Amino acid sequence: MQVPIRYIDTQQGLEEFAAELCGTPLLTLDTEFLREKTYYPQLCLVQVAADGREALIDPLAPLDLRALVPVLTDPRTVKVFHAGDQDCAILYQALGAVVRPVFDTQRAALLLGLPQQASLVALVRRFCGVSLKKGESFSDWAQRPLTETQLSYAIDDVRYLPLAYTRIVSELQEKGRLPWLEDEFRDMEDEERYRVDAREVWQRLKGVAALRGSQLATVREVAAWREQAAQERNLPRKWVLPDDLLVEVARREPASPEDLYRVRGIKERLGKRWSQEVLAAVERAQGLSPDQWPTPRRVPARDARCVASLDLMGALLHQRAKELHIATSFLAGHDDLARLAEGQREGLTILKGWRRDLLGNELLRLLEGGISLSLDDGDLKVTLLSQAGVPAPS
C-alpha cells in the first residue's frame, strides 16, 4: 500500500514534519525551481522522503524554511541527492546553511560504471528495477495549485532514492570503493562553493583571453558591477549586460557616454543610470597601477609533444576506466591530463589518493618513458619496460 503524499504549506505543518525527521539516519531530497527570469533561482518545491514518510514542501507558501536547518545539518542524518549540486546551492540560499553530510547517487554511480550524466530514470531502472515517467520535465513549478500529475512526478524524484542508495552503497562496499567518495562529498559540503565572489566572475567570461593589461582590470570591474546590479534587481546577468558586450566594453575602455554607446546595443540596454555606473567601473579600473591588474588563468599553448602525450594518456585512461568500470571523466579530467603533459605535478586531482594509485602513477611512468603502449588484436596492451627487460630512458 502506497503512503499518501503529504503536502506541507503551513508553518505548523513544516515544524511538525521537521520534528518527525529528527534523528532519522537517512533522508532523500530534491528540489524544483525556476531561474530563467531571475538571478536567484526561485525555489518552488522541496521533496523529502525518510523512514517511510514522503512530503512535498511548498516554499511559495508563507513558510520559514529555516525550520529544516536542524535536520538538514544534523551529522546523524545522511542527506541523499541525485545530481545534487544545484539543489545544495539553492537550499544554501534558502536556508542560510549548508546541507551536510551529503551523498550524491549520480557521482557514486560513476564508480559502478554508469555514465557521467546518468539520469535519475537510468539510476532507478538500474538499482530498483522501476521505470519512472518523466513527462513533467518542463512544468511550470511556480503555478498553483499543482496538478496530481506534477505531484506524482515530484515525489518520484525521492521515492526510490532510499533503495537506490542502499544498493549503491552495498555494491561500492563490495568493491572497496566507498571511501573514494569522501573527498567528492566533502567538496559539496564546502560553504565557499556556494558563495559568489563578484570580483572573480570575469574569469569565466568567453573572450577574456584576448584582453591584455588594463583591459583585464576593466573587465573585472565591469563584471563585478554587473554581478551586483543583477543581484539587486534579481535579474539574470545576461539581462543586465550580455557577456559579449561586457568584454567589448573592456576592450574599448570607454571614457565617455559617447565612447560607450559606440558599442552596438549598449545605449538601449543600459539606459542612463547603468551607463553611468559602467563608466564609473571603467574609471576605477583605469585608476589602478599595473601591479594591481589581474592576471588571467591562461592555458599555455601546447606543442606537438604535449598533444602526443595527451593522446597516449587518453588511451591509457580509457583502457583503465574500461577495466575498472569507472566513468573516464570521474577517474581523470582533461585539464589534469593537459597539465601533466605540460610538466605540472602539484595540485592535480589525478595525483591524489586513490586516483594516483589507480592511474596517476602509471601516467607518470608513461610520460617518463617507462611504459609502452601497443595494440594486441585490437586491444590496448600496456607494457612496463623494466619488466620486459628494456631499460627506461634516463
d(CA 368, CA 354): 21
Residue 389 lies in a domain: no
Q: What is the pLDDT of residue 1?
A: 41
Q: For 369, which DSSP code?
A: T
- Provide the grid cell at 310: 595527451
d(CA 301, CA 81): 39
By three-state DSSP, how is residue 41 classified?
coil
Question: Are residues 72 and 103 both part of a single domain?
Answer: yes
Q: What is the pLDDT of residue 298?
A: 58
Phi, psi of 189 (to 5 degrees): -95, 5
- Provide the grid cell at 225: 558591477
H-run or E-run covering 189: none
Q: What is the pLDDT of residue 329?
A: 87
Is it the case that residue 132 has pLDDT exceeding 60? yes
Question: Are residues 45 and 178 both part of a single domain?
Answer: yes
d(CA 355, CA 353): 6
The answer to which of 2-6, 14-18, 63-67, 337-341 has the lowest mean pLDDT is 2-6
- Provide the grid cell at 314: 587518453
Please state, for a pLDDT cut of 70, what percent of the chain lies above it.
94
Question: Are residues 174 and 69 both part of a single domain?
Answer: yes
Question: Are residues 287 and 311 both part of a single domain?
Answer: no
Is it the case that residue 232 has pLDDT exceeding 90? yes
Average pLDDT of the residues of the chain:
92
d(CA 202, CA 221): 9
Question: Are residues 229 and 321 both part of a single domain?
Answer: no
By three-state DSSP, how is residue 382 classified?
strand
pLDDT in tens, 78-123: 999 999 999 999 999 999 999 999 999 999 999 998 887 889 999 9
| Count: domains in the chain | 3
pLDDT in tens, 142-164: 999 999 999 999 999 999 999 99
What CATH number is attached to the domain comprising 274? 1.10.150.80
Is it the case that residue 244 has pLDDT exceeding 60? yes
C-alpha dist (Å) from residue 28 to 87, 128, 141: 12, 15, 20
pLDDT in tens, 257-314: 999 999 999 999 999 999 999 999 999 999 999 999 998 765 555 567 788 999 999 9
Q: What angle, rounded to 10 degrees, do the helices at 148-159 and 161-175 form? A: 20
